[in-house]
Amino acid sequence: MPRYRIIVEYNGLQYVGFQRQENGPSIQASLERAVEALSGEEVTVFAAGRTDAGVHALAQVCHFDLKRPFLEDTIRDGLNYHLKPRPISVLAAQEAAPEFHARFDAIGRAYVYRISNRRAKLALDQGRCWHVPVPLDEKAMHEAAQRLVGEHDFTSFRAKECQADSPIKTMDRLEVVRLGEEIRVLAAARSFLHHQVRNIVGTLRLVGEGKWTAGDVTRALHARDRKVAGPTAPPEGLYLTEVRY
């Protein structure tokens, strides 16, 4: 029974998230229907990260098993044919080792959060980044972000409904850079808590506006209380960019 590993790009705006749910369309269900249309087999598609409603991916990694082998190009092209016109694209497909698991074998994940920092409303990027019209100091945001790098108890940046066993995570990288009118928050870790990146971005916005200092971010972290940290940034600015194995 061959196992296939695929890299998937998607716009999550119209989906309830990656994971299959009863309350609306999901990336997982769309992929599973495409695999069934191609192969005639019902499968379960597993992903490296179960992105939330409205969150996008540039390189989500998934796997599934089939009873009979297919050429790798046939997997990629066939799935893309059956995914039309959905905003989901299989970038690559390859046969994987039988023991490979997209989620449990991953040793690192990276996200980027895009903030459009301009007065004018969004046209082309509507639904693809967070529009913040007030000026933001990205250097102050970056300085404050360094307070969160390393191993910490991230309870203050964890969603109430998070199902992780522990709030302790190690943030390997958290950078804030400006590219013209766009600010990007780059985050990398082995794994993340539910809404962790979005809660951090919402907090860093307070720093960028001059309402908080880096010291305030440290105090919020040490408080281990979600109510003490900043608001949750909207999902449309968040992209899963890389999964490492």
Between CA 155 and CA 165 the distance in angstroms is 12
- The pLDDT value recorded for residue 211 is 98
Q: What is the pLDDT of residue 98?
A: 96
> Do residues 129 and 227 share a domain?
yes
Number of domains in the chain: 2
Residue 102 falls inside a structural domain: no
Give the contacts of 55 (CB within 8 A, at least 6 positions apart).
12, 17, 235, 236, 238, 239, 240
123's CB contacts (< 8 A; 6+ apart) are none
Check residue 73 and give its pLDDT: 98
Q: Where are the beta strands (DSSP E) in the chain?
A: 3-10, 46-47, 56-65, 88-96, 108-116, 130-131, 150-153, 168-179, 182-189, 238-244
Give the number of other CB atoms < 10 A from CB of residue 10.
25
Instruction: Provide the pLDDT for residue 120.
Output: 98
The β-bridge partners of 152 are 169
Query: Which residues carry out catalysis?
Result: 52
| Residues 58 and 149 occupy one common structural domain | no
pLDDT at position 195 is 97
Model pLDDT, residue 78: 98
Can you name the residues that pair with 89 across neighbouring β-strands?
Answer: 9
Per-residue pLDDT at 200: 98
Is 207 within the bounds of a domain? yes
Output the domain CATH number for residue 56.
3.30.70.580
- In the chain, the largest separation of any two C-alpha atoms, in whole Å, equals 59
- Which range of residues forms the domain containing residue 16? 3-96
Residue 217 shares a structural domain with residue 187: yes
**Boundary residue ending a domain (33, 64, 96):** 96
How many Å apart are CA 118 and CA 135, to the nearest integer?
7
Q: What is the CATH number of the domain that holds 204?
A: 3.30.70.660
145 falls within a domain = yes
Q: Could you give the residue ranges of the DSSP H alpha helices within 102-225? A: 138-145, 196-208, 214-223
pLDDT for 101 equals 98
Kindly list the averaged pLDDT for each block of 10 residues, start to end, along the chain of length 245.
97 97 95 98 97 97 97 98 98 98 98 98 97 98 98 97 94 98 98 97 98 98 98 98 98
Residues 127 and 10 in one domain: no
Flag whether 103 is in a domain: no
56 plus 126 within the same structural domain: no
Which residue(s) pair with 95 in the sheet?
Answer: 4
pTM here is 0.96
